[in-house]
Structure 1
């Protein structure tokens, strides 16, 4: 890319004090890269800054934050006409950084920023829920969703992604399955699910690889339904290996429908959505995203 092309970095307010990031931005600016920084403070800031990026004809918009920040920017990008849509770059500054970790983005600020600005752009899929909500990484339901939303901020700050798993062990007494019916092309399942993972990406909840074979550019979603009554061994298995697990039902689908007799909550890249009925489909090649050359999630 041309160094003079504008990159707009939309930074989650929680990461604004990151000194390594400040140093990386200054280094790249000294090399001639045109980088503008905007910091979010409240809901809707991401959309406003993206509107500014369009006005300024920015070539790249970098989402600096965790999975929720990436979700907000990706959702806003999807609504922009393809011809005017900037490329998405990702800077991992959250607690778990599940999407950034699984696609192979460096944790160190300077190489991550260089990749976000200079990396090769690849077309990737986006998942849509009930026509108006989206996720770039994963939708999770059941026990896993409750753990992700309930894990205390102090535990997240101290332990990072593993905090979700530890908090899960602490809350085993609250274990409760969700009764639901899941259907799609040539697929039907009905029963009690402890955890449901619908993956464009592979992992959620701080490193749990719920959808270990998911690809972000295959035009399909990977669904994993944890049906085992022994949740702890199943979770341990998902953390330590990707081979077949008899307690998990897996399927690749372009779309699926979930119906429940009671209200369920799905976590869309960390953003909760509650209801009794969910229609989820994939939008193939919806976004252009700068990813590492050997990204394991590209077909």
Structure 2
């Protein structure tokens, strides 16, 4: 872990020195189309990037991020979807560099949780006129994540949804793909242990949220990416139709307005067990399995956020 400047000092350095590196996933939904516009808008805000990377092969992203951070920028600007930004999170955690987000993906859950505008022009202005904040990270085993760990039908959906459908329909591609996966999906028993209390659920889907959004829709208004706790919740019971109805209701209405009004379990550390053991989708990466301990890491990463972001 590197020694960190104060957030005020870091913000001032970004505004005065403008030392940034730009990394854009040009395979993301809008990355290729907007890469040159991003360069132009950065120049309009007085930024002259130390280096720019147009990533055409996402498998090279870890290597490129290491190279970019080796230039010691004050601000690492990453353009892409949640998968690209999740990769950046793993590199930036606990370092004296802030992440600047250009939301160029399908659902942009991470950007939404930070209160960032989703259009490129205003997102670039946040880099120039915003502030540095420290936000919490989730930790699934030894894997840091920004937004969500999930178990169940969504893992199959993430592996099934077609790239062309995401490009065509955006976030609506996920519930539509779920309609094709759900008839064959079997419910499972999940056990969530928090503060010594074990909660048992029969469900098709279990989510552990660090951020406020999933699938581009708000989970609850009082969830925060900076409140020192994680939120576990199931969608549906063991009945497929109930899962479908709850998913559609949440998508259409933002059903749960408060943590007090929904099926939530919250805590700083959660032990997740399932019967049968299941793979975990951790911010789009599937390589861990239950049983799994998931905890929050307070102030685990620096980000550039709008001036009105509540930083605790």
For 2:9, the equivalent position in structure 1 comes to none
- The separation in 2 between residues aligned to 1:175 and 1:248, in whole angstroms, is 24
Whether 2:266 is the aligned partner of 1:257: answer no
Counterpart mapping for 1:187-266 below 5 A: 187-204=197-214, 206-210=215-219, 212-228=221-237, 229=239, 230-239=242-251, 240=253, 241-243=255-257, 249-266=263-280
Gaps of 5+ in 1: none
- The separation in 1 between residues aligned to 2:297 and 2:133, in whole angstroms, is 15
Of 81, 85, 92 in structure 2, the residue corresponding to residue 77 of structure 1 is: 92
For 1:137, the equivalent position in structure 2 comes to 147
SS in 2 for 1:14: coil
- The separation in 2 between residues aligned to 1:7 and 1:194, in whole angstroms, is 43
Q: How many residues align?
A: 292
For the 8 Å contact 2:206–2:235, the answer to whether it is kept is: yes
Q: Note the alpha carbon deviations across 1:91-119, whole angstroms, 9 max, x for none.
A: 11112212213433222212212213542
For 2:6, the equivalent position in structure 1 comes to none
Whether 2:23 is the aligned partner of 1:10: answer yes
For 1:111, the equivalent position in structure 2 comes to 122
Give 1 or 2: higher helix fraction.
2
Q: 1:256 Cα deviation (Å)?
A: 0.6
Q: Note the alpha carbon deviations across 1:85-144, whole angstroms, 9 max, x for none.
A: 2101111111221221343322221221221354211110000111x2121011121122
Runs of 4+ in 1 over 6 A off after TM superposition: 244-247
TM-score, normalization: structure 1?
0.87
Q: Structure 1 residues 95-104 or 39-48, which shifts more? A: 39-48
For 1:294, the equivalent position in structure 2 comes to 308
Q: 1:276 Cα deviation (Å)?
A: 2.9
RMSD between aligned alpha carbons? 2.6
Q: 1:175 Cα deviation (Å)?
A: 3.3
TM-score, normalization: structure 2?
0.84
Gaps of 5+ in 2: 1-13
